[in-house]
Structure 1
Amino acid sequence: MISALAIAATTPLLLGAADPPAWTRPQAPFPIAGPITYVGSEGIAAYLIKTSAGAILIDGTLAENAGMIERNIAAAGVRPRDVKLILVTHAHFDHAVGVAALKRATGARVVAGARDVSALETGTPPGETSYGVIRFPPVHVDRGVRDGDKVTLGNVTLTARATPGHTPGCTTWTMHIPAKPRPLDVVFPCSVSVAGNRLIGNRAYPGIVADYRRSIAMLGTLHADIVLPSHPELADVIARGERRDPAAFVDPTLLPRIVAKARASFAGDLAKQSR
């Protein structure tokens, strides 16, 4: 296999000066719970799930991080070629730029929300934003999933929950970790932040407001013992100079707090854009 680090070196730099330095700051991998290990950078998450038939990677983050993620996967005891699936939460550059490099380095199949497939395969993010278009290397999607579809590798099954709004194909993934007295519910929530999306007059995504409302409401119905967001600061695990505490992700109150904040922020952004 070709090294992801070598591929990333040929990828144009897509970050702007305003992007947080933590997005590309290296982070040593650390176990979270059961088969799940954090392998992303300090500021953008990527999660490795070990199964009896290989491993699953959730998100690829930035091209600059691809080599680090590959090394973190190896440090977690998984050969890169044993990564069989890469699940993409959504087609924005900070989570999708590194996917093409990691797919080529591992040979993994890429799975993403059906409504984001076109964006991923053209390298053009969907919808209209206040910050313009930030393109990324296109990647072939081997399977597009819709709400309720299941993805199984070995002894692990994840369920896709469609949470459109942030992008049309934004996909929240859920799974269970065996435990007593009951399995632990794990949720990898796709973002429901507005984050520059045009809510009013979005010709490329006219249903964006209704999608946000449905997705925020749906996330509010999910139970999560463990919440693993795309940006780890949502779980308060960013602490420069300190060891990360995996227990920060283990909090049944975290998802309701994320949903409440998203609901209030969405209402505020919609009101501002409606003026």
Structure 2
Amino acid sequence: MKRLVLALGLLACASAAQAQMPASWTAPTEPFQIADNLYYVGTEGISVFLITTPQGHILIDGAMPTSAKPIEASIAKLGFKLSDVKVLLNTHAHFDHTGGLAELKADTGAQFAASAGDRQALESGKYIGSEDVEAFDFAPVKVDRVLNDGDTVTLGGATLTAHVTPGHTAGCTTWTFPVTIKGEAHQAVLYCSTSVAANRLASKAKGPQYPGIVADYEKTFQRLRSLNGDVFLAPHAEQFGLVEKRARLAAGGPNPFIDPSALQKTVAASEQAFRQALAKQQKAAK
């Protein structure tokens, strides 16, 4: 009965949320290996990553409200057991990255760890500051472990570090972790996001999306400029050139996901877009 109620809730959220979303966000795609124990199991347009270990696996993000079953199918297609997923993580509490988490948690029995700043959104299933917009809703998911900046998650020899980079959401979390590619050690960085998206930075009528959001963006840009990583990953496929890199990887040669300059290029472009959006919203607010 609980599973039926959960499924009905997911469908209700999905019907509204997916109405005007890009088709690629829900389109299934073949899973593939990026590094020795790092796999892509997301949809065509929204990333979900699987980190495998001898003691169980870590799954990062849940994509859209209807994406749980395709994610589970991708895990199985790679030859891994769903029951071996022991930890669920999240980059940020927006429906297009958390929509499948409640179902994935129920199906795997995994423990869910997420930032303190996003806990309210995750457990309410709401876009904080836009709680009245039903299209942003997703199935609530209970946080089993609350993470703060600098906390680590360890399983089977794999250790991920949480870097809280707020703005896009109050608890937006960028993850770093070591990976091995062809016998060489690399540092992966899963960038949370710094886009403005639907956020209000300045609004005379409603106020900001949440108190202190502009200051959070400013601190996050500064923080990300000091972060290092040469395997760049992101929540949306277009944010890290997934389609092109995947094709190049399949063709052989150097692993295209190794790109030491990608993070800083992305952050610089996003900061410029943020300043333009802030100026536009501030002008409108006057």
Q: Tell me if both proteins adopt one fold, taking TM over 0.5 as the criterion.
A: yes
Moved more, 203-212 or 140-149: 203-212
Q: Distance in 1 between matches of 2:129 and 2:158?
A: 33
- State the partner residue of 1:263: 271
- State the partner residue of 1:39: 41
Contact 2:31/2:78 (8 A) holds in 1? yes
Q: State the 1:224 CA deviation.
A: 1.2
Matched to 1:30, the amino acid is F
- State the partner residue of 1:67: 69
1:86-125 aligned within 5 A:
86-125=88-127
Contact 1:47/1:58 (8 A) holds in 2? yes
Change (3 A) 1:116 1:108: same
Q: Distance in 1 between matches of 2:108 and 2:132?
A: 35
Q: Is 1:252–2:260 an aligned residue pair?
A: yes
- State the partner residue of 2:210: 205
Contact 2:65/2:95 (8 A) holds in 1? no
Moved more, 35-44 or 109-118: 109-118
Q: Distance in 2 between matches of 1:167 and 1:126?
A: 8
Q: Distance in 1 between matches of 2:155 and 2:109?
A: 15
Q: Distance in 2 between matches of 1:217 and 1:131?
A: 31
Q: Distance in 2 between matches of 1:16 and 1:24?
A: 8
Q: Distance in 2 between matches of 1:66 and 1:56?
A: 15
- State the partner residue of 1:227: 232
Q: Deviations over 1:196-251 (max 9, x none)?
A: 20001435511000000111111111111101100021121236xx8473734221
3-state DSSP class of the match of 1:187? Answer: strand
Count of paired positions? 271
Q: State the 1:254 CA deviation.
A: 0.7
Q: State the 1:18 CA deviation.
A: 2.6
Change (3 A) 1:38 1:179: closer
Change (3 A) 1:244 1:22: farther
Q: State the 1:135 CA deviation.
A: 1.1
Unaligned runs of 5+ residues in structure 2 are: none
Q: State the 1:127 CA deviation.
A: 2.8
Contact 1:45/1:229 (8 A) holds in 2? yes
Q: Judging by fraction of residues, say which structure has more helix.
A: 2
Change (3 A) 1:101 1:181: closer
3-state DSSP class of the match of 1:11? Answer: helix
Unaligned runs of 5+ residues in structure 1 are: none
Matched to 2:73, the amino acid is R
Contact 2:93/2:169 (8 A) holds in 1? yes
Contact 1:158/1:175 (8 A) holds in 2? yes
Matched to 2:11, the amino acid is T
Change (3 A) 1:19 1:180: closer
Q: Distance in 1 between matches of 2:39 and 2:8?
A: 23
Given candidates 178, 186, 194, the residue that maps to 1:192 is 194
Contact 1:25/1:43 (8 A) holds in 2? yes
Q: State the 1:81 CA deviation.
A: 0.8
Change (3 A) 1:43 1:76: same
Q: State the 1:33 CA deviation.
A: 0.9
Change (3 A) 1:41 1:162: same
Change (3 A) 1:119 1:129: closer
Change (3 A) 1:133 1:32: same
3-state DSSP class of the match of 2:87? Answer: strand
Q: Deviations over 1:117-149 (max 9, x none)?
A: 111111112234997761111111101101100
Matched to 2:97, the amino acid is H
Q: Percent of aligned positions with the same letter in both sequences?
A: 44
3-state DSSP class of the match of 1:215? Answer: helix
